[in-house]
């Protein structure tokens, strides 16, 4: 059972749930495990027999959980679900409803209001260190190695020798199926070149004009392609933080992969792993509590930088610098420490190190940080 299991089970008693996330992240497996496969009716729109059952609404209403997978490929999926939910309420049915999907579900969930007030939305992401500890007895070092090799995707994590093939299969599905369905982009080859460029730029500032020159297209085209890659759960953006800091720069975003193993450098893999951990933590708290959690980075005109800032309900919560090895504290941490006194400050490293707190800044490893502070 995954980190969301108990929250999904509790909320299914209240509303229909929408569960989205990257391909191969375990949405279907988790859904079937919630009440046991024998107690659920699983219907996948991509399976012809299941599609006929959905269209005729002839599923088994005696099952405790009704799971719709990829139903967002039906043009009228929102109206169908609205009718099912409303009829369920009228008839006082106890059958629970869970809808799973990836890119298109997340995109079209936000358009229109047919389902307003009828569901809670959850996002599920790959394993991070804190979650991996729940499912394996391998050493901390082995966990870290597997996360960086497999990106934390469950099947690959438990079968690391298959990681490359699974990753290749996932990306091919995203390009050949999801991208063509979601957009009018014809040249898959060009957007795959963009992904290769981003693999070299993990953790760096991304400038659309520079990428456009490398790809021989216009900056608006690059921006559009990047937005599609975000919708497809391939990459995510971290925006610059500028609130109440006069010398900060409102400039380029940083982009990271949901699969940290896609970075072409060891440092990039680790920074990406931390970014994914923090995004997962933010979205978990948003989905469970309804609070506002946001992830930023900081850089100002004096070139003081800090890798990540987390806001909770518009107030700084964590300020985090990432290092492969522990060194002297980043000067950006001290600069922000004087201006964000309510936040907790961390410098975390891949290598193990003695845990210390110096001038209000925690110095510790990623593994210890995850065990102590990442709670699901």
Closest CA to 16 of 101, 119, 110, 102: 119
pLDDT at 302: 85
The number of residues making up the chain comes to 376
Interval 291-333: pLDDT, tens = 999 999 999 888 899 999 999 999 999 999 999 998 878 889 9
- Give residues with Cβ within 8 angstroms of 177, minimum separation 6: none
pLDDT at 1: 79
Interval 10-69: pLDDT, tens = 999 999 999 999 999 999 999 999 999 999 999 999 999 999 999 999 999 999 999 999
Domain 5-123 has CATH 3.30.70.20: no
Q: What is the mean pLDDT of the chain?
A: 91
pLDDT at 123: 96
pLDDT at 249 over 80: no
The two structure tokens encoding residue 187? 């040249």
pLDDT at 247: 61
pLDDT at 4 over 80: yes
Band of residue 184 on the pLDDT scale cut at 50, 70, 90: low
Q: Annotate the chain with three-state secondary structure.
A: CCCCHHHHHHHHCCCEEEEECCCCCCHHHHHHHCCCHHHEEEEECCCHHHHHHHHHCCCCCCCCEEEEECHHHCCCHHHHHHHHHHHHHHCCCCCEEEEEECHHHHHHHCCCCCCCCCEEEEECCCCCHHHHCCCCCCCHHHHHHHHHHHCCCHHHHHCHHHHHHHHHHHHHHHHHHHHHHHCCCCCHHHHHHHHHHHHCCCCCEECHHHHHHHHCCCHHHHHHHHHHHHHCCCEEEEEECCCCCCCECCCCEEEEECCHHHCCCHHHHHHHHHHHHHHHHHHHHHHHHCCCEEEEEEEECCCCEEEEEEEECCEEEEEEEEECCCCCCCHHHHHHHCCCCCCEEEEEECCCCCCEEECCEEEEEHHHHHHHHCCC
Band of residue 178 on the pLDDT scale cut at 50, 70, 90: confident
HSE at residue 35, side-chain half, CA atoms within 13 A, is 19
Interval 188-247: pLDDT, tens = 888 999 999 999 999 999 999 999 999 999 999 999 999 999 999 999 999 999 876 666
Domain locations in the chain as residue ranges = 5-123, 129-373
pLDDT at 248 over 90: no
pTM of model > 0.75:
yes
- The predicted model gives 143-162 an average pLDDT of 97
Interval 71-91: pLDDT, tens = 988 888 888 999 988 887 667
CA 121/CA 86 separation, integer angstroms: 18
- By percentage, how much of the chain surpasses pLDDT 70? 93
């Amino acid at each position: 059972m995954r980190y969301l299991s108990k929250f999904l089970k509790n909320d299914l008693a209240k509303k229909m749930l929408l569960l989205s996330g990257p391909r191969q992240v375990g949405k279907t497996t988790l859904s079937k495990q919630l009440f046991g496969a024998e107690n659920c009716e699983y219907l996948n729109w991509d399976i012809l027999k299941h599609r006929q059952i959905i269209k005729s609404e002839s599923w088994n209403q005696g099952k405790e959980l009704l799971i719709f997978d990829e139903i967002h490929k039906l043009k009228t999926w929102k109206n169908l679900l609205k009718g099912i939910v409303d009829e369920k309420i009228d008839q006082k049915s106890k059958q629970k409803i869970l809808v799973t999907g990836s890119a298109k579900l997340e995109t079209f969930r936000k358009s229109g209001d047919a389902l307003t007030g009828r569901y809670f939305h959850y996002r599920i992401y790959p394993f991070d260190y804190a979650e991996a500890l729940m499912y394996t007895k391998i050493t901390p070092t082995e966990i870290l190695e597997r996360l960086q090799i497999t990106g934390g995707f469950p099947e690959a994590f438990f079968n690391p020798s298959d990681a490359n093939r699974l990753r290749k299969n996932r990306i091919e599905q995203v390009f050949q199926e999801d991208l063509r369905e979601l957009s009018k982009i014809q040249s898959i080859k060009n957007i795959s070149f963009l992904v290769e460029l981003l693999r070299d730029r993990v953790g760096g500032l991304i400038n659309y004009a520079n990428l456009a020159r490398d790809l021989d297209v216009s900056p608006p085209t690059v921006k559009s392609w990047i937005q599609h890659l975000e919708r497809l759960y391939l990459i995510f953006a971290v925006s610059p933080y500028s609130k109440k800091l006069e010398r900060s720069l409102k400039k380029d975003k940083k982009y990271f992969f949901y699969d940290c193993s896609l970075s072409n450098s060891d440092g990039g893999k680790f920074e990406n792993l931390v970014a994914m951990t923090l995004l997962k933590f933010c979205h978990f708290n948003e989905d469970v509590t309804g609070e506002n959690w946001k992830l930023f980075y900081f850089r100002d005109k004096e070139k003081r930088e800090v890798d990540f800032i987390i806001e909770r309900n518009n107030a700084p919560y964590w300020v985090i610098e990432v290092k492969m090895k522990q060194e002297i504290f980043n000067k950006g941490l001290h600069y922000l420490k004087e201006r964000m006194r309510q936040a907790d400050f961390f410098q975390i490293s891949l290598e193990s190190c003695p845990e210390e707190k110096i001038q209000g800044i925690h110095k510790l490893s990623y593994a210890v940080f995850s065990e102590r502070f990442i709670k699901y």
